[in-house]
Amino acid sequence: MFDLFKNRPKDVKEIRNALLQFIKEQLQKTEGGEGSNITGLYLFIHCNDEEKHLYEAAVFYDQPGKFKNEEIQKIADDYAIALPASWILEISFNSNVPAEAIPIKTIDAALLVSTFRNPVIHKEATAYINVLNGEAEKGRYKISSSPGKINIGRGVSVQTADGFFRKNMIAFTDSESNEKNRAVSRQHAHIEWDPKIGSFFLFADEGGIPPNNKIKVRATGGSPVKLMTTQIGHRLQEGDQVILGESAVLEFTFSAE
């Protein structure tokens, strides 16, 4: 992993340039209309702890979307590589690099390009939801990539407007006296696993969108994002914090600790 004989970049700018140069080379292979087949780029960074801050700065890790939208998309535009509007970029700091990923020789990173023809298949995943503020049935919930919705709301079993009952797997206590729970709707949100993208997504339900209520998500070091519709979900990433209503807070993590 750590090779002293590499001509290794020593600063943030050099690391970023090495990443972008390699990504450009891989994207150029899809010129001539093939770029529209790309569904996502998966960047695996396996640097040591001492260099992690350099790599984080190189990919603007504290500014979600910037590396994708301002750097990689510019390369695609400059070389007329027609990436589909729905393409995603996923950056992970992990020593477990998939065998299919192409190593970048001069730095501790590898790239996997997912296409409609050769998709990245994520068979299963496990994550955890920590309750940071508010009173829930449990302080920590384990979720998996099984099909179906993981409902979030106030009360374990609640009757909806159509007369049917909804079961909240992540359930805040149904107590009007608890101020932190008061603004959590009975039908506030849900989490779903998307097998095509290989990620958990958070969706607002009817009780979690304006004018009734609200959901705000903030990635680590990023700016809060409000969910304004039930149709568009937010892809959850390590460390995301979710505010339900006024002050109930959840944290998303892959860490089992």
Across all residues in the chain, what is the average pLDDT? 86
Amino acid at 193: W
Measured between alpha carbons, how far is residue 50 from residues 46, 58, 173 in Å?
Answer: 12, 14, 43
164's CB contacts (< 8 A; 6+ apart) are none
Residue 238, Cβ density class (10 Å: 0-12 exposed, 13-18 middle, ≥19 buried): middle
pLDDT band at 97 (very low <50, low <70, confident <90, very high): confident
DSSP 200: E
CA dihedral 131, 134, 135, 136 (to 10 degrees): -40
Q: Contact, 244 vs 183, CB < 8 A?
A: yes
Model confidence pTM above 0.85: no
* Segment among 30-34, 181-185, 249-253 with least mean pLDDT: 30-34
Read off the pLDDT of each residue in 102-106 and give the average, rounded to a whole number.
92
Q: Contact, 158 vs 168, CB < 8 A?
A: yes
Question: Tokens in use for 144?
Answer: 């998996």
Read off the pLDDT of each residue in 144-162 and give the average, rounded to a whole number.
90
Please say whether the structural domain 126-253 has been given the CATH code 3.30.420.40: no
